[in-house]
Amino acid sequence: MEEYRLELKHVSKSFGEVQALEDINFHLGRNEVVGLLGDNGAGKSTLIKIITGYHRPTSGEIYFNGKKVDHLTVPMARELGVETVYQERALAELQTLWRNIFLGRELTSSMGFLDIQRMKDETHRLMTESMGFTSHAVSPDSTVGKYSGGEKQGVAIVRALFFNADIVVLDEPTMGLSLKESAKLINFVNGIKQAGKSAIFIDHNILHVHNVADRVVVIDRGKVAGEFQTKHIGLNELMDKMVRVAETGSLS
Amino acid sequence: MNTQDKAKSLEVAQHYKPPFTLRRFIRTNSAQLGILGVFVTLWIIFIVSAPRTFLAPQIYSAFMSSTPFFAIMAIPLTIVVIAKEIDLSFPSIMAMGMVAFNYTYVATGFINNATIQVFLAIVAALVTGGIIGWLNGFIIVKFGIPSLVVTIGTQFLWSGAALVLTQGANFSLEYIKQTFFYNLFVGKIGPYFPMQMFWLVVVTILGWVLLNRHRFGAHVYLIGDNINSAELMGINTGRVRIQVFMLVGVVSAFAGILASFYVSYFWPTLGAGYLLQTLASVFLGGTSVLGGTGTILGTFLGAFIIGAIEAATVAVGLTGFWTNFIYGLIIVLSVIMHTYLRKRGE
């Protein structure tokens, strides 16, 4: 059996007295889209931030492609093929588009000098190729703070998709997007699946999740409340289960 | 898109070159154009009010003589403020650098060679500046204390330490004139061009390159803009922030060397008068205290405006009492202008 792209074993995370995650066992297959569902405050974003290396787990182990990784950092997670669209978008609004696209991984010479022209060229190419997320007023030199909510979201998404990830993590990516833009995003996620990669997808919109995910994992109050394959479950049944989890804390 | 496709795409990406339009140029560089406008306007006012002074080279030589001592520190200070920090301790670092300078010179007396001793003393001063700067950054980052608070504390700490270590003594540094360092740092090229101006230009260019052409500068802008975004995307914000304080430390020690060499004298209270002028230069130049924006050119021009006002006030015929008032007027009006330009850009 091929190893999982990602596996979390008995991962817990607490912030002082607050137990955000408790004994999480989670895995992501080689060509799988997993939908992460759960109420606000359930711990989904914390789980994401552990996978991306932003938080360190209080206990438990993380495995990438079968190999254990200790002290995972954000640059390490990137190297291991994780790209993220954060709920907070992680943009710098006073800066230009090209600085945002290459945020934290600027193209440089060996001495660290910026290759600004190449970054602008790439940004321009990305924009023209992903039309629909960006309007004509958006150029590599434009300030991101001036964009609409949907355009800002588009920047965060395009940035994550550009860097050739094996695992794309999307935390509420359709927030702030129009219907048409949301549909486009769903297509992108399907494209990730078709390209042989994997994705983790958080969205409150069950329609989106059901549409795109192979498997759904439900998080409630810091624990995994249940998981199931979406091909076996219809939308109504999924909705019922979600409500039951929110009310009782478990699927049964 | 696999790695090969991505590599290929990087080769064939079209060269992005937007057509030059005046409107775009003005919008991109509004802060620098703003302060340039203030600079030119004031200059014209000075020339018209006191043509005999301002159409002769001597006054400019005087400006280039005195302004660099604080302007040099305004450059790394700009970088600090862009990172959404502040450093109020740099005057004390000027003094402590020279304390280390003098201590090293005396301690290496056995070498009996002024040039080598002075060289070692210079190195000691710069290293001391770097260490004190590092300590500032470490306390700020490790304990999460706002830089405003920490550097007020360290300003007192190190200026006090300088007095304690020298027991308040002051003395001549005549021996530096035996070495080529004297002319190198504070000599003159021709009748009018002081070397400290040359060093200011060097520091300005290096600062500009670091801020605008190096990954370090890109990270400074990002950290000042939104430190959370920077951290989520993997930037080592703690390290960058400590480094900006180290930069101020080293450059302040260098400024201390220049200022002391110029008068060939050591004062343990060195730096005491420079705090407000240096800070004013940064804000006059358009750098925002909110972080994420700012330019080196703006600071450079701002420093010369500050440097010129005192002499210009007197040359124009007003008494010296007017100096502070005019400083304040120009600073307040310029900061309002910068804020207006920034808001208009939104």
pLDDT tens, position by position, B243-296: 999 999 999 999 999 999 999 999 989 998 899 999 999 999 999 999 999 999
Alpha-carbon distance of B145 to B141, in angstroms, equals 7
Find the residue in A nearest to B294 (Cα): A94
Which DSSP letter does residue B179 get? S
Are A216 and A47 within 8 A, CB to CB?
Answer: no
B208 in contact with chain A, both atoms CB, cutoff 8 A: no
ipTM higher than the 0.85 cut: yes
Q: How far is A239 from chain B (nearest CA, A)?
A: 32
Is A54 within 8 Å of B231 when comparing Cβ atoms?
yes
Q: How far is A205 from chain B (nearest CA, A)?
A: 25
Is A114 within 8 Å of B214 when comparing Cβ atoms?
yes
Is B213 within 8 Å of A139 when comparing Cβ atoms?
no
- Helices marked H in B85-226: 90-107, 114-143, 147-166, 180-186, 195-213, 215-225
Does residue B176 fall inside a structural domain?
yes
Does residue B18 fall inside a structural domain?
no
Would you say residue B8 has pLDDT above 50?
Answer: no
Q: What is the pLDDT of residue A29?
A: 92
Does residue B324 fall inside a structural domain?
no
In this prediction, residues B201-210 reach a mean pLDDT of 98
Is B1 within 8 Å of A164 when comparing Cβ atoms?
yes
Q: What is the pLDDT of residue B274?
A: 94
Would you say residue B231 has pLDDT above 50?
Answer: yes
In this prediction, residues B137-161 reach a mean pLDDT of 97
- A83 closest CA partner among A166, A179, A22, A10: A166
In this prediction, residues B78-99 reach a mean pLDDT of 97
Would you say residue B222 has pLDDT above 70?
Answer: yes
Alpha-carbon distance of B83 to B221, in angstroms, equals 6
Chain B hits for A126, CB-CB cut-off 8 Å, are none
A75 in contact with chain B, both atoms CB, cutoff 8 A: yes
% of residues, chain B, pLDDT over 90 = 72
A17: Cβ–Cβ under 8 A, 6 or more apart, which residues? none
A23 in contact with chain B, both atoms CB, cutoff 8 A: no
Classify each residue of A106-145 as buried b or exposed e, where b means 16 or more C-beta atoms within 10 Å of its C-beta. bbbeeeeebebebbbbbbbbbbeebeebbeeebbbbbbbb
Is A95 within 8 Å of B9 when comparing Cβ atoms?
no
Q: Which helix (H) or strand (E) holds B298?
A: helix B296-316
Q: What is the pLDDT of residue A82?
A: 94
Is B10 within 8 Å of A118 when comparing Cβ atoms?
yes
Provide the 3-class DSSP secondary structure of residue B157. helix
Task: Check residues B209 and A240 and name the one with the higher pLDDT.
Answer: B209
Chain B hits for A103, CB-CB cut-off 8 Å, are 222, 229-230, 233, 235
Does residue B3 fall inside a structural domain?
no
Does residue B27 fall inside a structural domain?
no
Phi, psi of A52 (to 5 degrees): -85, 0
Under the banding of pLDDT at 50, 70 and 90, the label for residue B144 is: very high
**Could you say which of A103, A108, A125 has the minimum Cβ distance to residue B222?**
A103
Report the predicted TM-score, pTM, of the whole model to 2 decimal places: 0.91
Cα torsion B234, B230, B150, B279: sign: positive
Under the banding of pLDDT at 50, 70 and 90, the label for residue B3 is: very low
Are A126 and A105 within 8 A, CB to CB?
Answer: no
Is A141 within 8 Å of B18 when comparing Cβ atoms?
yes
CA distance to B139, B185, B248, B253, B280, per residue, from B149 (Å) = 11, 34, 17, 21, 19
Are B235 and B222 within 8 A, CB to CB?
Answer: yes
Split into its structural domains, chain B has a count of 1
Structure tokens at A231: 């091909």
Q: Which of A79, A82, A94, A192 to substitute to test the interface with B, most B CBs within 10 Å?
A: A94
* Cβ atoms < 10 Å from Cβ of B110: 7
Q: What is the pLDDT of residue B4?
A: 41
Are A51 and A14 within 8 A, CB to CB?
Answer: no
CA distance to A205, A237, B181, per residue, from A228 (Å) = 17, 11, 76
A142 in contact with chain B, both atoms CB, cutoff 8 A: no
In the 3-class helix/strand/coil scheme, how is chain A assigned residue by residue?
Answer: CCCCCEEEEEEEEEECCEEEEEEEEEEECCCCEEEEECCCCCCHHHHHHHHCCCCCCCEEEEEECCEECCCCCHHHHHHCCEEEECCCCCCCCCCEHHHHHCCCCCCECCCCEECHHHHHHHHHHHHHHCECCECCCCCCCCEHHHCCHHHHHHHHHHHHHHCCCCEEEEECCCCCCCHHHHHHHHHHHHHHHHCCCEEEEECCCHHHHHHHCCEEEEEECCEEEEEEEHHHCCHHHHHHHHHHHHHHCCCC
Alpha-carbon distance of B260 to B264, in angstroms, equals 6
Does residue B187 fall inside a structural domain?
yes
Structure tokens at A248: 């009782």
> If you count residue pairs, one on A and one on B, with CB atoms under 8 Å apart, how many are there?
103
Q: How many residues does chain B have?
A: 346
A147 in contact with chain B, both atoms CB, cutoff 8 A: no
Alpha-carbon distance of A116 to A124, in angstroms, equals 12
Alpha-carbon distance of B223 to A90, in angstroms, equals 12
B326: Cβ–Cβ under 8 A, 6 or more apart, which residues? B309, B313, B318
Query: Which single residue is written with the structure tokens 């700490």?
Result: B157
Chain B hits for A162, CB-CB cut-off 8 Å, are 1
A93 in contact with chain B, both atoms CB, cutoff 8 A: yes
Alpha-carbon distance of B345 to B330, in angstroms, equals 22
Is B231 within 8 Å of A74 when comparing Cβ atoms?
yes
Q: Which of B4, B232, B289, B290 to substitute to test the interface with A, most A CBs within 10 Å?
A: B232
Would you say residue B204 has pLDDT above 60?
Answer: yes
Q: What is the pLDDT of residue B317?
A: 79
Q: What is the pLDDT of residue B103?
A: 95
Would you say residue B299 has pLDDT above 50?
Answer: yes
In this prediction, residues B213-218 reach a mean pLDDT of 97
Q: How far is B107 from chain A (nearest CA, A)?
A: 37
Q: What is the pLDDT of residue A252?
A: 61
Chain B hits for A99, CB-CB cut-off 8 Å, are 218, 221-222
Low-confidence residues of chain A, pLDDT below 50? none
**Could you say which of B24, B28, B213 has the minimum Cβ distance to residue A113?**
B213
Would you say residue B2 has pLDDT above 50?
Answer: no
Chain B hits for A85, CB-CB cut-off 8 Å, are none
Domain that residue B197 falls in = 58-272
Q: What is the pLDDT of residue A249?
A: 66
Alpha-carbon distance of B292 to A99, in angstroms, equals 12
B134 in contact with chain A, both atoms CB, cutoff 8 A: no
Chain A hits for B15, CB-CB cut-off 8 Å, are 117, 121
Chain B hits for A89, CB-CB cut-off 8 Å, are 229
Chain A hits for B216, CB-CB cut-off 8 Å, are 112
Would you say residue B52 has pLDDT above 50?
Answer: yes
Does residue B172 fall inside a structural domain?
yes
Which range, A241-250, B130-139, B302-311, has the best average confidence (pLDDT)?
A: B130-139
Does residue B41 fall inside a structural domain?
no
Q: How far is A113 from chain B (nearest CA, A)?
A: 4
Would you say residue B32 has pLDDT above 70?
Answer: yes
